Structure formats: C-alpha cells, structure tokens
A and B are shown apart, each in its own frame.
Chain A
C-alpha cells in the first residue's frame, strides 16, 4: 500500500512531462499531419536555454528560462515549418523522415556547441525539499503541466486564433473557403507546439542532467501518448499522458525497468484493439 502511494508522484510527474511534450505533438500531428521527430530536439533546446541562463540568472534560471525557452524552441519550430515542413503537407510519412534528418543535425550541433558530456542545471533553493512524499520539484512540474493545459484550453476555446485553429483541424479546405488563412494558422500552431517542448525541456532540467540526446528518451513515449489519446485531442492527451506515466512507474516498480517498456507497448496495442484511433476521435463522415 505504501509503495502504491510512493509511486504516485513519480508516475504523475512522468505523466506531466509526457503531457507537456505530447501537447505540441498532438496539435502539429492532428492539424497538419506532421510527425515531427525534431520535437525532441526542441526539448533539448529548452533545457540548454536554462543551462545558458544560469550564468546570468544564477539559481533562478529555471524561472527566467520558462518564457525564453518557449520563445527559443518556438522560433526553431517556426523556422523549421517555414523552410522545410510546409512543402510536405499531405505527406506525413515523409515529414517523419525529413524531421529526423533535422533532429540528427541539431543533436550534433548541440554536441559541438556544448560538448558531449551532460551538464547540470541548479534547481532554485525554494524547490528543494517537499511536502511529505511530494518533492517540490515534481510538484512544480505538475503545476507547469496543469498551467499549460489550462492556457492551451483557453487559447483554443476563448480566442479567435484558437477557434480558427480548431476549424483548420476539423476541416482544412472548408476553413480555407471560409476565409481563414490556413498557412498563418499552421505557423502559429507550430510555434506554440514547439514552444511547449521548450518548456518541457526546462522542466526536465529539474529531474535530471541535460545532454544532446535528452529529447530522444522522451520522443517515442510522447508519440505513444498522441496515438493513445487521439489526434489533436486535448482531453485525450491529458488522460493518455497521465495513464502512461502511471503505468510506466508502476510497471517499473512491480517488474523492472526493462520489462516496463514492453508492458506499456503491449498495453497500447491492446488499447488500440478497442479504440483504433485513440481515446477521442474527431467525428466526421470521412473515410478513416
């Protein structure tokens, strides 16, 4: 019983990190059909942003880094979208391979700029310690994820930009006919999605070291969240991320780390037998 309680915050914080990463993916995937393998490198960029800001902001770097990392990763995403991805709409599998090439280059760039060994980001003093079994740093990550979800929800449902984004996601041609500049909407979605990866990167500095391959550890799991949650579904992403995080941490606890991944994989395949398109599906009459 005690173990069940102890694993809970670990599972929830894994879920929170996955959620931050998957939020960006689910919208770029759902809206544009882009499978962005370079998303992991935007995470890495966010983490290195926090590392670089340490020299200037000292131990409060994590706080300062949040908006800066959002902008840095968002801009990287925007550049990628403008220069390459926009030529690939309608060819999702090709974007996967293209962005993987980008991710290779970015990883090597990080290795050349910051060196291959991992670096550390000092957590602020006020994040040390915890409430009972809840360490403050994990609580902070959790709060970050909740805040991001609320912000995204507000953006999608309460702003005109967000409503346009939903329209494009539901039916691109129809939205274009209604006078929505779909290219512009795509750029904004990509900026926000990539920016969220930057924030996830900053969050990751609180629970581990930063290295050039940081993103690769999370990207596969984050894609599984998208698959299980359903494309472009905020609710789906939240539930799937938390479920996957919990499943991961409990499976690891009861078996071991190497079997846990297999259990998660089997669980996803089994889940897709029941809901082949993920938890929530955008209803339409199109052939699926």
Chain B
C-alpha cells in the first residue's frame, strides 16, 4: 500500500531558523492576555466598564469570524450582522418568554397579538434557543454559501450579495412588528437562568463567559488557520483557480469557512443580548455589519489577533468619542478608515510587523 499524496505530504514543517523562544512567544502572549482578561480585568474594572468590555469582546468574536472568512479566505462578508442578529434574536426570544412566564411578551400585547406565534414556541426551551443561535446562522450560511460559491460567484459580487442580505433582514425585522418587536427590537430582560440580569455579579459572570468563549474560539480559529484546511483557504484566497486545478473543490472549503464565521457571529449575538440587554434591527443592518469589517481592517485583517483587537479598540473608541462629541465620531471614523486603507492596508497589526522587520539587527539575523 502506498500512501496517497495527501497523507504523505508533510504537515506544517517547522520553519527553519525558528528557535523555541520564537515558537513560545505566541502562546505566552495568549496566556498573558487570557490572565489579564479573565482575572485582572474583573477585579479592577467597575461593573459598568466591565459590561462595556464584555460588549466589545462580543464584537471581537464576530471580528474573529470576519478575520477567518475575509482575512484568510478572501470572502468579504458584509452581512455578518444577519448572523449576529439571528443569534441575538434567538436568545432574546428565550429571555422574553422566560420573563413573561407563560404569558405573552409585553410588546406582543402592545401590538395586539393574541396568541403566541408558532415561530416563538420552541424558543421557550433555553437549550433550543442557544443551539439555534449557532445552528441557525450556520445553516443559512451553508445554504447561501453553497448556492453562491458553487456558481463561482465571488469577490465583489459576494460582498454585494451579503450586504443585500443584511438590508433585507433589517426591513423584514422592522416590518414584522408583532413577531419581532419592529424597530424597538427585543429589550427589557430581567432574568437569566434565575439570576437577576441587572445585578453586578451576573454581569461579572457574563463577562467571564464572553471572555472565555472568545478565548476558546480564538484557539479553534488559530488551529484551523494552522491546519491543512487553513493553508488551502489561504491558497484559495490567493489563487482560487489554481487550487481548483489541483483537484480541490474551493466551493466546499469556502462554504465551510463562511459557515464557521456565521456560527461565531451567531454565538456572539446570543452572548450580546444578556450583556447589553437589547437586540434591535439597528444593531445588525448594513452599517453595523460594515463597521465591524472596518474594525477588522483597521486592526489588521491578515492576523486573527489583529481582527479581534481592531473590533475591541474600535468599539472602545466609538463609545468614548461618542460620549465626548457625537457628530465628530463619524468624521473621525471615516477619516481613520480612509487613512488606514490608503496608507496601511494591512492594518495596525500589519504596520507593526513591517516596522519590526525594519528594526536594525532583525534583518541581519534573518
């Protein structure tokens, strides 16, 4: 028996000249950040700031998915808000039903709905709601991805289609007032698994959950990128036809990646709802979806860490600047974006790497 070529190919040969110190740098930074985020931040930050940080980390989870799909796979997805929203609404529906305790949720009473719509009934079960928050987006992404990628629709076409999906989703949600709460969305949640949502302890616990989920997903994504699958993904980004000529099916790989990123966005939405206490169409339309892509680009789309960092930093910047001068933020965001795209298309992370390579001594060793 001869092994097939696939089996025989060496897996990720260690790069020559990488000392054990180089190899340990990444993991040690990860552990350091994990300790900072999971132990130090909850002890030092007041509950309000901690809640904000949890919100940014939720965006960080979405950004991780965007980094995977766009940075690694070259699929510019402008509709992550749709998946985020699916997850968020699934969680919101459960919380609403739980708070109502067998009655109709408050907004349905206001819009004159008399019986619980059939769509809502399964969401009384928290396991179903949380499972749907991940599986729903994954299924939608698989459906859209397989239809679109199979026909080799890609690049800008794909971006435009995902954007249109986000636009359609918002209009659908706003239009179905009695079913979705319309423009207001779902809000006024009080209780999560018997815990008071307004309590500091609950918010602290939620923060830890969000941070832990982000950490785990980061490891999963990192492993995915390092694997053979990740290499194929990058190869597809850089030359889809060549990968096809080599006998792989790019459509499958792209669909899987798109689905993974959608699942991440859905989970982020489900976490976002108890943390922030609202999910509404304004949070998942064309603009919020694009804002996250922008954040990923600013952070550095080609590195997963850059993507996450970009989302957290941009979220923080948005809050602090909007507090100071609301109108200025749009100018600043637009200007920052134009500057980053023109001067540093690889984002802050890419810029940092370039600068590091320019340092004297670095070159000599390489």
Contacts and interface: CB of A to CB of B under 8 A. Distances in A.
B318 to A, nearest CB: 12
Contacts, number: 119
B337 A100 contact: yes
Contacts of B152: 276, 288
A227 B161 contact: yes
B76 interface: yes
B209 interface: no
Contact of B165 (A33, A104, A223, A265): A265
Contacts of B172: 258-259, 261-262
B335 A101 contact: yes
Interface stretch (A51-59, A105-113, A174-182): A105-113
Interface in A92-107: 92-94, 96-98, 100-105, 107
A256 B175 contact: yes
Nearest to B182: A258
B155 interface: yes
B341 interface: yes
Interface string A250-282: 000000111101101100110011001000000
A96 B156 contact: yes
Contacts of B156: 29, 33, 35, 92-93, 96
Contact of A104 (B337, B341, B342): B337
Interface string A110-138: 01100000000000000000000000000
B7 interface: no
- Which interface class (under 10, 10 to 19, 20 to 34, 35 or more) fits B? 35 or more
Contact of A269 (B144, B297, B337): B144
B175 A223 contact: no
Given A92-B156, A105-B334, A261-B172, A97 B164 contact: no
A287 interface: yes
A85 B331 CA distance: 19
B330 A108 contact: yes
A102 B290 CA distance: 13
B327 interface: yes
Contacts of B161: 227, 268-269, 272
B171 interface: yes
Nearest to B170: A261
B337 A101 contact: yes
Interface in B267-315: 286, 290, 293-294, 297
Contacts of B148: 269, 272
User: SS class of chain A's interface: helix, strand, loop or mixed?
Assistant: helix
Contacts of A221: 164
Interface string A207-231: 0000000001000110110110000
B337 A227 contact: no
A84 interface: yes
B151 to A, nearest CB: 4
A87 interface: yes
A261 B327 CA distance: 31
A268 B164 CA distance: 10
B45 interface: no
Nearest to A116: B327
A105 B286 contact: no
A8 to B, nearest CB: 23
Contact of B338 (A101, A257, A272): A101
Contact of B163 (A88, A98, A223, A264): A223
Nearest to A101: B337
Interface in B330-356: 330-331, 333-338, 341-342, 345
A111 B330 CA distance: 11
A243 B164 CA distance: 17
Interface of A: 29, 33, 35, 84, 87-88, 91-94, 96-98, 100-105, 107-108, 111-112, 216, 220-221, 223-224, 226-227, 256-259, 261-262, 264-265, 268-269, 272-273, 276, 287-288
Interface of B: 76, 144, 147-148, 151-153, 155-157, 159-161, 163-165, 167-168, 171-176, 241, 286, 290, 293-294, 297, 327, 330-331, 333-338, 341-342, 345
Given A92-B156, A101-B333, A102-B334, 8 more contacts: A96-B159, A97-B293, A98-B337, A101-B336, A105-B331, A112-B327, A261-B167, A269-B148
